[in-house]
Structure 1
């Protein structure tokens, strides 16, 4: 089989080192409650692989559809996709299987967990098998947005490929903006102006809503303000730089002034925004499906826009999951996994995935497909995320990333809830982060 014979389809952990030191070997055995998506061919003549993921609901339906399409598109490979529950359960399954030596061929992976897996010998580098007749061409790899590939590479090698990716967007309530006679803000200064207007009017709504875990917004503003934060190449830490401290002081300032608030007991701000409790809200582009029903129920006139700039700089951080192949896979299984990845990232297929799930297309050419352009015309709220793809970036990954992120969340929570001094808190976080990176990398 050569790639040109494939059918083209249109629209229609932090892992603890102690648990992972036992590298696994041998072929994967079938287990669990997964549904099999086979093509009905003689399994003795094909390479069978298992794929673990954490997709549920409509996301499960979409990944099952794509898996079935791949199985039907050729006669050399069969993929069995297995739902492992939510992301936390998926990570636990990988940890347990890493010890028992019963890992699948491939899996969805949180980028921050990849270095820990590499350190413990669980993942295979893909560089030597990506470009092939049944995999990718170099032109196709170059078509993937640079910011997505950043999360897939570690220590100079490619250990994963982007798949279920999202970016941050700003949701806005047009009726509230009209009420105060302002345009959709494009800068944080304009957000402040709106916040002042609403406070002066005695409005109990706020201008901006944040998720309780607002670390991505803080890091985005810090980077927009010129901070390297954590440099992706050198892993040098600048969390307590003046630019970074200024960013956190800004976020705390607009909260203290009543211009913004976090989600609080709601957990996520999609609910409060959908109920009309804020003019603006920054959240994941994949949250469109959560905002839409609440907004419709409350009769909101809403859409999305690109993130506000700080210091005249456009930047957004990518989130989401990648696909990796475990070191226990045979050469034939590795080839099959790369063939499946290549199929998933075909322009029409990554566009289909984006339209069905709210994630974003992975390749530039996917944006230009007729199906996706029609989708954007019919769903204008999806356009902002597409516009951000060219200047989005992934935060750096390193061994110990999960421990670092826990420290970051605790620090930001301490500043928000207990009113700790921003400079002192970030200086402490700087020291802790440097220790984590130096002791693990």
Structure 2
């Protein structure tokens, strides 16, 4: 936190004093890693800066800190940030607090090939406040050689998943399918996706879709990999790469770990399997917004248009492995990545977002406790879910 606060202070002092380049500046906030900033500064920014005669000043601010910074600037009418990227689970608050510009008129400028669900995620009360930037979606990884060895196809529904899980355990002596059961947000988000695919509303904890999902997982648990209890987004990649598991659901970032670092050419991907009601794949990532009161809105929108262009999206996909907001941005990616990005594209067509709610932390807590009680400890499904539903309702009242 001290690091972000120091960087923010330097940033605000810099743009307030006007030191540095004499060119007009576009102040952009994003949360990126060092390698990502390198590509932005060396590959993405320069052509735009040259074309528009501007200097892009960029800084990283923690997603949790950004709302407070925006609130201070907007309320004081001293808006210094011209454009920002923010996690999709932090958007509704910014819109409801009146901290962001209404971008509905820009909707007609969005690329024709943009994934439709990404646009919908930026809308609140039928107005567009946020624009697609950096989506991620869960896909399913599997060990193609092991599936072929046992004459199996990747499962397309829960019934097939159950059959595959039983066969692997019978043949290998241990389960080989991972469910992220280590707790916290990874477990909650995977459950969220499964409950949606069962036709439920995850936030109730105890509707029919929730009941069916937890009941199925309880029956599946004996045939899952024993590593599931320690599995999160990072460790799942390791289990698959080391042949401890043969199938998992995870974010596309795992590709660089599994395929590049471990050179696992036998790992394939596909969108995944459907539940009893539908196929649903959880989408996360970041959206772009412009603070209300920014004096450089037009320039910021020009930069957004540039970022969303096919040329820039192709560079981000090829050089950083980012899934694209467009469906036509994968022509220049390395050959080994193309089939995996095809999985990403298809998964996004059935993409769902977690609903942003003020009681999210409480939901994560209670759905994890319900999972542990039912799936791991074998407690009765409906009674247990009813109990945690009531606990969540009490927590919502306290908040």
TM bucket, shorter chain? 0.7 to 0.9
Query: Larger % of helix: which?
Result: 2
Q: Which blocks of at least 5 consecutive residues in structure 2 are unaligned?
A: 1-7
Match of 1:91, SS? coil
| 1:292 aligned residue (256, 259, 270) | 259
Matched, 1:159 2:129: yes
Are residues 401 and 51 of structure 1, via their aligned partners in 2, closer, same or farther at CA, if it must alter by over 3 Å?
farther
User: In the alignment, what sits opposite 2:276?
Assistant: 311
Matches of 1:381 and 1:34, distance apart in 2: 42
Contact 2:290 2:297 in 1 (8 A): yes
Match of 2:218, SS? helix
Contact 2:174 2:225 in 1 (8 A): no
For 1:239-388, list aligned pairs within 5 A.
Answer: 239-258=205-224, 261-262=227-228, 264=230, 268-296=235-263, 301-311=266-276, 313-330=278-295, 333-366=296-329, 370-371=331-332, 375=334, 379-388=338-347
Count of residues in Structure 1 that have an aligned counterpart in Structure 2: 379
Q: Which stretch shows the higher mean deviation, 49-58 or 286-295?
A: 286-295
Are residues 93 and 118 of structure 1, via their aligned partners in 2, closer, same or farther at CA, if it must alter by over 3 Å?
closer
Matches of 1:224 and 1:281, distance apart in 2: 17
User: In the alignment, what sits opposite 2:191?
Assistant: 218
Are residues 362 and 432 of structure 1, via their aligned partners in 2, closer, same or farther at CA, if it must alter by over 3 Å?
farther
Contact 2:283 2:352 in 1 (8 A): yes
Matches of 1:326 and 1:377, distance apart in 2: 40
Matched, 1:72 2:50: yes
Matches of 1:382 and 1:363, distance apart in 2: 11
Contact 2:218 2:376 in 1 (8 A): no
Alpha-carbon deviation of 1:272?
A: 1.1
Matches of 1:323 and 1:261, distance apart in 2: 37
Deviations 1:270-302 (A, max 9, x none): 111111111101101232122224532xx5621
Alpha-carbon deviation of 1:412?
A: 3.8
Alpha-carbon deviation of 1:171?
A: 0.7
Matches of 1:177 and 1:72, distance apart in 2: 51
Alpha-carbon deviation of 1:196?
A: 1.2
Match of 1:366, SS? coil
Matches of 2:124 and 2:320, distance apart in 1: 28
Are residues 143 and 198 of structure 1, via their aligned partners in 2, closer, same or farther at CA, if it must alter by over 3 Å?
closer
Alpha-carbon deviation of 1:160?
A: 1.2
Q: TM-score scaled by structure 1?
A: 0.74
Matches of 1:68 and 1:403, distance apart in 2: 44
Contact 1:255 1:261 in 2 (8 A): no
Match of 1:170, SS? strand
Matched, 1:395 2:354: yes
| 1:59 aligned residue (12, 21, 36) | 36
Match of 2:131, SS? strand
| 1:196 aligned residue (137, 149, 166) | 166
* RMSD between aligned residues: 3.4
Alpha-carbon deviation of 1:167?
A: 0.8
Q: TM-score scaled by structure 2?
A: 0.81
Q: Which stretch shows the higher mean deviation, 54-63 or 395-404?
A: 395-404
Matches of 1:253 and 1:111, distance apart in 2: 33
User: In the alignment, what sits opposite 1:176?
Assistant: 146
User: In the alignment, what sits opposite 2:5?
Assistant: none
